[in-house]
Chain A
Amino acid sequence: MRRELSDKALHSEFRLTVEKMSGQNLSDCYQCGKCSGGCPVLPDVKHSPNQLIRMVQFGLADDVLSSESLWCCTACGTCNGRCPMGVDIVRIMDTLRSLAEDVYKPHGALEVWTFYQSFLDCVRQFGRLNEIGLMGGYNINSGRLWTNMIKAPWFILKNKLTVSPHTIKRIDRLRRVFERIEQIEESK
Chain B
Amino acid sequence: MKYAYYPGCSLLGSGAEYAVSGEAVLDAVGVELEEIDDWVCCGATAAHATSHLLSLALPAITCAAAEKQGLDVLTCCAACYSRLRQVSADLQEDPDLRARVNEIIEEDFQATPRVLHITEVLRRDVGVEAIRERVTKPLTGLKVACYYGCLIARMPEELRIDDAEYPMLMDDLMSAIGAEPVDWPYKTECCGAALTLARQKTVHRLCSEILKIAKQNEADVLVVACPLCQANLDMYQTEAEKLAGERLSIPVLYFTQLMALAMGLDSDKLCLEKLIVDPMPLLAKKGFVVGEAYL
The residue of chain B having its C-beta at the shortest distance from the C-beta of A176 within the complex is B106
Secondary structure class of chain A's binding surface, majority of residues: helix
Q: Is B14 an interface residue (CB 8 A)?
A: yes
Q: Is B165 an interface residue (CB 8 A)?
A: yes
Q: Is B124 an interface residue (CB 8 A)?
A: no
- Residues from 25 to 79 in B contacting A, C-beta threshold 8 Å: 38-41, 43-54, 57-58, 61
Count, chain B residues at interface, CB 8 A: 55
Q: Is B190 an interface residue (CB 8 A)?
A: yes
Q: Is A174 an interface residue (CB 8 A)?
A: yes
Please name all residues of chain A whose beta carbon is closer than 8 Å to the beta carbon of B54 when the two chains form the complex. 120, 178, 181
Count, chain A residues at interface, CB 8 A: 63
Contact of B190 among A44, A76, A135 (CB under 8 A): A76
Q: Is A103 an interface residue (CB 8 A)?
A: no
Q: Is B198 an interface residue (CB 8 A)?
A: yes
**Cβ A160 vs Cβ B274 within 8 A:** yes
A180 to B273, CA, bound (A): 44
In the A-B complex, the 6 residue pairs with the smallest Cβ-Cβ separation, listed nearest first, are A76-B190, A119-B46, A129-B9, A76-B150, A111-B198, A116-B46
Interface string of A45-87 (1 = CB under 8 A from B): 0000000000000000000000000001111111011000010
A115-B46, A128-B9 given; 6 more Cβ-contact pairs under 8 Å: A94-B48, A97-B50, A120-B54, A131-B13, A160-B13, A184-B104
Please count the residue pairs between chain A and chain B whose beta carbons lie under 8 angstroms apart in the complex.
Answer: 164
The residue of chain A having its C-beta at the shortest distance from the C-beta of B60 within the complex is A177
Q: Is A40 an interface residue (CB 8 A)?
A: yes
A154 to B276, CA, bound (A): 7
A176 to B235, CA, bound (A): 37
Please name all residues of chain B whose beta carbon is closer than 8 Å to the beta carbon of A151 when the two chains form the complex. 235
The residue of chain B having its C-beta at the shortest distance from the C-beta of A40 within the complex is B190
Q: Is A35 an interface residue (CB 8 A)?
A: no
Contact of B202 among A72, A135, A158, A160 (CB under 8 A): A72
